[in-house]
Structure 1
Amino acid sequence: MSKAAGDWWKGAVTYQVYPRSFQDSNGDGVGDLPGITARLPYLAGLGVDVVWLSPVFRSPMKDMGYDVSDYIDIDPVFGTLADFDTLIATAHDLGLKVIIDQVISHSSDQHPFFTESRASRDNPRADWYVWVDPDHDGTPPTNWLSVFGGPGWTWDGRRRQFYMHNFLTSQPDFNYHNPEVQDWALSVLRFWLERGVDGFRFDTVNYYFHDRKLRDNPADWRDLADPPDNPYDMQDHLFDKNRPENLAWLGRIRALLDEYGAASVGEVGDTHRAIQMMGDYTAPGRLHQCYSFEMFGRNFTPGYFRDRIEAFFTGAPQGWPMWAFANHDVPRQVTRWLPYAVDQDSLAKLAGALLLSFEGSICLWEGEELGQTDTELSFEELTDPQGIAFWPAPVGRDNTRTPMVWDASANGGFTTGTPWLPVKAPQLARNVAAQEGAHGSVLESYRAMLAFRRAEAGLRAGKTTFLTAPDPVLAFLRGDLLCLFNLGREAVRLRLDGEGHQTGPSQGLGLTPGIVRLDGNGFGFLRITGGGPGLS
């Protein structure tokens, strides 16, 4: 009998844990499941609802776990299945939900299925990956590119065919046109649902299907005055991903999740139509929620945020977004938006309050609640294949993935060994112990804002009405709550349509009769009496 997930996910706040970098329990320099379990009380005390674990499955780690060689076992570097079960039980005891990454668009080339598939053209899994013959001149059949550089096709001498890979050559793409592949993927999801997970974050959710006609992607239609860091961005990816067949597959996933009351979030990666796909993918009977890279850029203006939120809810009134400002693939938000900062802490607190005020669900990236910035790394310190391939472009993966900083001791309390990525002085200065209980700290500001969001029905479920305000102020109503954010560095004064009464956290907020003042990077929440909806 099907049972819906209820609405626990709707408006919830998820915290992304990068297992390699959260807490090491055995001194090998790599974070692990027992370490995460030991730190779960911190996350419960922070006030989040859901913990998202990046991949912990068996993997050769060429892409740090996003290249899976066994989908139903834990990699020894992270622990065991028993450790995983303990983590789930502990989280549930603390009132936390747990979702785990599922990287099922592609596998590692060391997965037994790929070993079998590449062995011949007539074995039982010959059609489980995307194989094609070369053109008559020996070149790949399409112009499709890899996100990590170079062509999206690699020649295999065993089959004398090309196989498709959207990422590393060691990450071959599954062929989702084959129903057996879909059935197998659902069995993987069922395995983890039976172990008690509350849902999944689906990596590269718009990459599952390719164009069977093998048509070339057109050139990007935007006027690119200079080549981007990555040539991948010079194409409009109509045929190597974003295919319409994906919608029926998402429906099959949703039907399984409904059996367990589990929830889902999909990662939509696309330059042109991400907001539209977020809506399409979260229509009734598909995924519960989706997020994209739309708010991961360097633009920090009121119009930018307003346009994206309005575009989603106008185009997909029955869909549901998850908004995020950062994750393990992009530079940290304080680093990106530093030109708009009065100072780093003020910007960090403003960004947290802004994100946690948006209509939809929210995802926080590990360490953002400390105001962390990217770590400056030398080429020799890099481990990330994308960072190495595009050096010195600031691709922001290793730089944002450095270990969580718990205290001011060596390596920030993350490990007693040598950390897999270094903990440097600027990051060490922004540690949990120093901010815990400290009035005005970024950490305590996040805690206050998370508690406010949980207590305020308007922030959790209220509709958004944007108000006209002078740049750089973003102003909107969530229910009857007036939310004001100064995204600039200079103070501004706004006239209120009525009398403003402060509620909840604030920064640089001043009230006089009929007037509100916001210092640079200031924010506040008001209820208005004796007038209209807010600003006049």
Structure 2
Amino acid sequence: MSPHAEPLRHQRVWWKEAVFYQVYPASFKDSNGDGWGDIPGLLERIPYIASLGVDVVWLSPMFESPQIDMGYDISNYEAVDPSYGTVEDVEKLIKACHDHDLKLILDLVVNHTSDQHAWFKESRSSKDNPKRDWYFWKPPRYDENGNRLPPTNYRSYFAGGTWTWDEHTQEYYLHLYDKSQPDLNWENEECRKAIYDSAMRFWLDKGIDGFRVDTVNKYSKHIDFPQAPITDPSTFIQPAAQFWCNGPRIHEFIKEMNSEVLSKYRTYDGQELVTVGELSLTPDPEGVLPYVSAEAKELSMVFQFDITHVGQGSGFLDKYDFAEWKLPEMKRIVEKWQTFIDGTDGWTTVFNENHDNGRSICRFADESPQWREKSAKMLAMWLTTVTGTLFLYQGQEIGMINAPKEWSIDEYKDVESKNFWAEAVKMTEDGTDPTREERIKYGLQLMARDHARLPFQWDSSKNSGFSDGEPWMRTHDLYKDINAEAQEKEADSVLSFYKRLLRLRKEHKDVFVYGNFELLDADNENTFVFRKQYQHKTALVALNFTSTAQNAPSHEDMNLLMSSYSKTSPETLQPYEGKIYINY
């Protein structure tokens, strides 16, 4: 297919060209000194967000919650957790965003609720309660010795099994995540209607502009609940994603969500709503395309997680057992999700950080003082020049990095980190895997979700300007060296560089947002070079992923548009240098 036809296939839509900025509210800005970020704190910083040149704020869960899983365990969809503020605060936030020409999307977490949600309390109250079937309840099994067993042998995301025994009704309930997060039964039509009213229409009626849709491909399970095959003989629980991911009715459910709810609303300025789904465990393009095809009318786009899984071990058990990788592996992943939309009506996303992963500088480049800023700029150049919708995570724009390796694992607060660490300690101590504790510690130091949740580094004052009180999570030791206030004053800072790149991306959105992607020199383990083409316009991007100089690619008849270094050489890519060449 010729690039001349590309605009017909990928029609220009506002959310394709938009830059999204994810805010993790607990860690963004605390307004009242309780050490916990909140909506009033975010309101104070809307001018800062607008100054970046982004278009949409994605606010991670701020709903009422026991906070077992940082708000992804919702106890009331129609209330804001008091630690974050009130519904009225969110209404003020919606207005403030719109007044600054920003759209606002919220998290839609409807695979599960908290076990403290009124729906689940009713469901577990008795076997004949009208809401009993809003969740998955099953009787126990028994082995040959009469020992009680859960209905299936599935392993959960957060280590351990997926079924918890309820003494009151003498049955098990299903939870793919923590036991405090029981899964909703989307097979039940009344349950779906309640989800649409409570979790969606309630906030759409207040003027939000769309949703990031959590765990979007897990609503449909294989409800006969077959046993998982034994792939790890050392344990009872086994990986079983094939029985609860991309299930038989998943596309039916998402189409219904769209037709019954989303299609009935518009953004504050009259455009179509945006939805971005969290699509895990779907590694093949042919499995992703049905979710994002414009004709299918399901989701605007999805996050596919191959890029953030680089370095993770295989399977649930080995997630934090670090696996060595080389640059060609990462480049092939980028190529895969850049080119899968060629010749289709689907769309793709661009990101390498979010609330569930370690910081990109530490994952993909070099966090040492000598190369930290160079690495941040080079990675920024990668993200802002590839095709698709760009998502940035708070602190990425100032080059925030992982917690120091000197910190004790006790500083890690996340439920997943705690569960994996406890499991690793046990397996080391009982001799099941004598080196597991050491290996998992390293993996957590590099990839744990906690790293993204350190308080935002606003300035060099106490607690990095995040809070006047004791922060819920320790502030990074280097906040005086890495903070927004200092970088706003420096023309050559990481923050200033991001602002320039985001302006450049908009100025050349034809080739950077919509252009065809071509990977060059795929097997080179030191540099990442690719070409972007849109009609007669070509851009060449060259990135050095090493701390030694590399040869620059051939760029005859092309002009240097930008380098991440202030002084550069035509023949050389300096350590962690990025360059963009262009011709018309």
What's the TM-score once normalised by structure 1's chain length? Answer: 0.90
Match of 1:533 in 2: none
Select the residue among 34, 37, 48 that pairs with 1:42: 48
Q: Check whether the contact 2:366–2:372 (CA below 8 A) recurs between aligned residues.
A: no
Q: Check whether the contact 2:459–2:479 (CA below 8 A) recurs between aligned residues.
A: no
How far 1:478 moved relative to its partner? 2.2
Q: Secondary structure at the match of 1:166?
A: coil
Match of 2:401 in 1: 373
Q: Secondary structure at the match of 1:398?
A: helix
Q: Check whether the contact 1:508–1:520 (CA below 8 A) recurs between aligned residues.
A: no
Q: Secondary structure at the match of 2:46?
A: helix
Q: Root-mean-square deviation (CA), in Å?
A: 2.5
Match of 1:498 in 2: 556
Q: Secondary structure at the match of 1:425?
A: coil
Return the alpha-carbon distance in structure 2 between the equivalents of residues 442 and 231 of structure 1.
48
Distance 1:475 1:379, change over 3 A: closer
1:89-488 equivalences under 5 Å are 89-137=95-143, 138-187=148-197, 188-218=199-229, 235=239, 237-255=241-259, 256-260=261-265, 261-270=272-281, 273=283, 275-284=285-294, 285-296=297-308, 297-298=310-311, 299=325, 301-311=327-337, 313-314=339-340, 317-338=344-365, 343-376=371-404, 377-391=407-421, 392=441, 394=444, 396-457=448-509, 458-468=511-521, 470-479=524-533, 480-488=538-546
The amino acid that maps onto 1:314 is: F
The amino acid that maps onto 2:547 is: R
Return the alpha-carbon distance in structure 1 between the equivalents of residues 125 and 225 of structure 2.
23
Distance 1:69 1:340, change over 3 A: closer
Q: Check whether the contact 1:153–1:165 (CA below 8 A) recurs between aligned residues.
A: yes
Moved over 6 A (4+): none
Q: Check whether the contact 2:358–2:450 (CA below 8 A) recurs between aligned residues.
A: no
How far 1:46 moved relative to its partner? 0.8
Distance 1:104 1:495, change over 3 A: closer
The amino acid that maps onto 1:210 is: K
How far 1:320 moved relative to its partner? 1.4
How far 1:217 moved relative to its partner? 3.0
Return the alpha-carbon distance in structure 2 between the equivalents of residues 122 and 245 of structure 1.
26
Q: Secondary structure at the match of 1:503?
A: strand
* Per-residue CA distance 1:280-328 (angstroms, 9 max, x = gap): 3212311001002211124562452344433563377322122211111
Distance 1:90 1:358, change over 3 A: same
Return the alpha-carbon distance in structure 1 between the equivalents of residues 465 and 255 of structure 2.
44
Unaligned runs of 5+ in 2: 1-10, 266-271, 312-324, 422-440
Distance 1:274 1:266, change over 3 A: farther
Q: Check whether the contact 1:300–1:337 (CA below 8 A) recurs between aligned residues.
A: no
Return the alpha-carbon distance in structure 1 between the equivalents of residues 218 and 22 of structure 2.
22
How far 1:275 moved relative to its partner? 4.8
* Per-residue CA distance 1:342-378 (angstroms, 9 max, x = gap): 7111111111110111111111111111111112443
Return the alpha-carbon distance in structure 1 between the equivalents of residues 12 and 550 of structure 2.
42
Distance 1:345 1:275, change over 3 A: farther
Q: Secondary structure at the match of 1:91?
A: helix
How far 1:274 moved relative to its partner? 6.1
Identity of aligned residues (%): 35
Q: Check whether the contact 1:14–1:49 (CA below 8 A) recurs between aligned residues.
A: yes
How far 1:276 moved relative to its partner? 4.6
Q: Check whether the contact 1:498–1:528 (CA below 8 A) recurs between aligned residues.
A: no
> Is 1:518 the counterpart of 2:573 in the alignment?
yes
Return the alpha-carbon distance in structure 2 between the equivalents of residues 276 and 82 of structure 1.
43
The amino acid that maps onto 1:346 is: K
Q: Check whether the contact 1:508–1:519 (CA below 8 A) recurs between aligned residues.
A: no
Distance 1:177 1:465, change over 3 A: same
Q: Secondary structure at the match of 2:385?
A: coil
How far 1:439 moved relative to its partner? 2.6
Distance 1:231 1:267, change over 3 A: farther
Return the alpha-carbon distance in structure 1 between the equivalents of residues 256 and 118 of structure 2.
25
Return the alpha-carbon distance in structure 2 between the equivalents of residues 433 and 17 of structure 1.
18
How far 1:432 moved relative to its partner? 0.6
Select the residue among 5, 12, 29 that pairs with 1:23: 29
Q: Secondary structure at the match of 1:328?
A: coil
Q: Check whether the contact 1:358–1:459 (CA below 8 A) recurs between aligned residues.
A: yes
Q: Check whether the contact 1:295–1:305 (CA below 8 A) recurs between aligned residues.
A: no
Relative to structure 2, which stretch is displaced further, 477-486 or 302-311?
A: 302-311
Return the alpha-carbon distance in structure 1 between the equivalents of residues 285 and 236 of structure 2.
22
Q: Check whether the contact 1:485–1:523 (CA below 8 A) recurs between aligned residues.
A: yes
Q: Secondary structure at the match of 1:51?
A: strand
How far 1:495 moved relative to its partner? 5.0
* Per-residue CA distance 1:45-67 (angstroms, 9 max, x = gap): 11111111010100111111110
* Per-residue CA distance 1:255-284 (angstroms, 9 max, x = gap): 2222212110011222x6265543232123
Distance 1:492 1:329, change over 3 A: same
Q: Secondary structure at the match of 1:141?
A: coil
Q: Check whether the contact 2:16–2:389 (CA below 8 A) recurs between aligned residues.
A: yes
Return the alpha-carbon distance in structure 1 between the equivalents of residues 164 and 392 of structure 2.
36
Relative to structure 2, which stretch is displaced further, 302-311 or 157-166?
A: 302-311
Return the alpha-carbon distance in structure 1 between the equivalents of residues 466 and 454 of structure 2.
10
Q: Secondary structure at the match of 2:88?
A: helix
Return the alpha-carbon distance in structure 2 between the equivalents of residues 320 and 498 of structure 1.
32
How far 1:192 moved relative to its partner? 0.8
Relative to structure 2, which stretch is displaced further, 156-165 or 372-381?
A: 372-381
Relative to structure 2, which stretch is displaced further, 444-453 or 373-382?
A: 373-382
Return the alpha-carbon distance in structure 2 between the equivalents of residues 131 and 509 of structure 1.
65
Relative to structure 2, which stretch is displaced further, 336-345 or 492-501?
A: 336-345
Distance 1:311 1:327, change over 3 A: closer
Match of 2:319 in 1: none
The amino acid that maps onto 2:176 is: N
Match of 2:426 in 1: none
Q: Secondary structure at the match of 1:390?
A: helix
Return the alpha-carbon distance in structure 2 between the equivalents of residues 492 and 111 of structure 1.
57
Return the alpha-carbon distance in structure 2 between the equivalents of residues 300 and 432 of structure 1.
32
